[in-house]
């Protein structure tokens, strides 16, 4: 797939099923994440791979969080099973005199996008999700995040089960100005 075709025609898919990327395909996805722009070369990210039994473990964590935080327990429990594979992307900022935390969180966000595009380029699809489970102290604790780390996204990956929605037609003239 040509780079510009990918950038201009990419789309997300929320309905995902097996097969999911594995082996060398998965390694390409992670390598793409590691090519995200990174001020100071701080590698301010880490990824947690969740598939198979891991989805059940994540489901238990979500259920525990929903219970503790008065969320919808059943809904939370079902969430991880919306795809055969989830990569949890964690911003792991380092203390640095010239690179503020926000830049490092942005880098981790770029890693999510790069990985989604690497999956798309290999014939898979996915969706970047957050929601309450991305901002839950219980989830953070259960996943072993440090005080300074945060979840920037759950990247759900697999094979698309629905056709692409017609993308919004945005006109660049509404968003670009010239100085
Ligand atoms: C930081 C971030 C968090 C998001 N969280 C959710 C989410 O929790 N649930 C959801 O349905 N879409 C979420 N989205 C949006 C989808 O990933 C996707 O971009 C959107 O459905 C538009 O589809 P498209 O990528 O095909 O344009 C999020 C996007 C970003 C950038």
pLDDT of 1 reads: 81
Whether residue 5 lies inside any domain: the answer is no
pLDDT of 165 reads: 79
pLDDT at 100 over 90: yes
Residue closest via CA to ligand 1's atom 31 equals 128
pLDDT at 6 over 90: yes
Ligand 1 atom closest to 164 (CA): 26
- 39-43, 44-48, 131-135, 160-164: least confidently modelled range: 160-164
Contacts of 125 (CB under 8 A, 6+ apart): 11, 12, 13, 16, 119, 157, 158, 159, 160
To the nearest 10°, the Cα dihedral for 141, 142, 144, 149? -50
pLDDT single digits (tens) 42-98: 999 999 999 999 999 999 999 999 999 988 999 999 999 999 999 999 999 999 999
pLDDT of 166 reads: 79
Residue closest via CA to ligand 1's atom 20 equals 12
Whether residue 26 lies inside any domain: the answer is yes
Enumerate residues lining ligand 1, CB below 6 A. Answer: 11-12, 14, 127-131, 153
> Of the residues 12, 36, 120, 131, which should be mutated to test ligand 1's pocket, given the most ligand atoms within 8 Å of the CB?
12
pLDDT single digits (tens) 17-26: 999 999 999 9
pLDDT at 118 over 90: yes
Q: How many domains does the chain fold into?
A: 1
Whether residue 68 lies inside any domain: the answer is yes
pLDDT at 163 over 90: no
State the distance from the centre of ligand 1 to the C-alpha of 32, rounded, in angstroms.
19
Whether residue 36 lies inside any domain: the answer is yes
> CA 22: distance to chain centroid?
17
Domain of residue 111, residue span: 20-163
Ligand 1 atom closest to 113 (CA): 31
pLDDT of 167 reads: 82
- Give all strands (DSSP E) within 4-149, no chain letters: 16-17, 45-51, 85-91, 125-129
Whether residue 83 lies inside any domain: the answer is yes
State the distance from the centre of ligand 1 to the C-alpha of 118, rounded, in angstroms.
17
Residue closest via CA to ligand 1's atom 10 equals 129
pLDDT of 168 reads: 87
Whether residue 130 lies inside any domain: the answer is yes
Whether residue 29 lies inside any domain: the answer is yes
pLDDT bucket at 39, cuts 50 / 70 / 90: very high
């Amino acid at each position: 797939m040509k780079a510009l075709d990918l950038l201009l025609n990419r789309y997300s898919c929320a309905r995902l099923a097996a097969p999911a990327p594995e082996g060398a395909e998965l390694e390409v996805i992670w390598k793409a994440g590691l090519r995200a722009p990174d001020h100071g070369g701080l590698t301010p990210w880490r990824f947690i791979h969740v598939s198979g039994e891991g989805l059940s473990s994540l489901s238990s964590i979500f259920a525990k969080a929903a219970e503790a935080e008065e969320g919808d327990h059943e809904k939370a429990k079902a969430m991880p099973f919306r795809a055969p594979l989830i990569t949890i992307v964690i911003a792991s900022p380092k203390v640095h005199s010239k690179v503020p935390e926000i830049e490092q969180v942005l880098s981790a966000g770029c890693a999510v996008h790069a990985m989604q595009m690497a999956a798309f380029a290999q014939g898979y699809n996915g969706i970047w999700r957050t929601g309450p489970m991305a901002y839950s102290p219980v989830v953070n604790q259960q996943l072993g995040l440090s005080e300074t780390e945060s979840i920037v996204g759950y990247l759900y990956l697999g094979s698309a089960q629905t056709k692409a929605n017609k993308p919004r037609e945005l006109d660049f003239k509404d968003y670009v100005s010239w100085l």
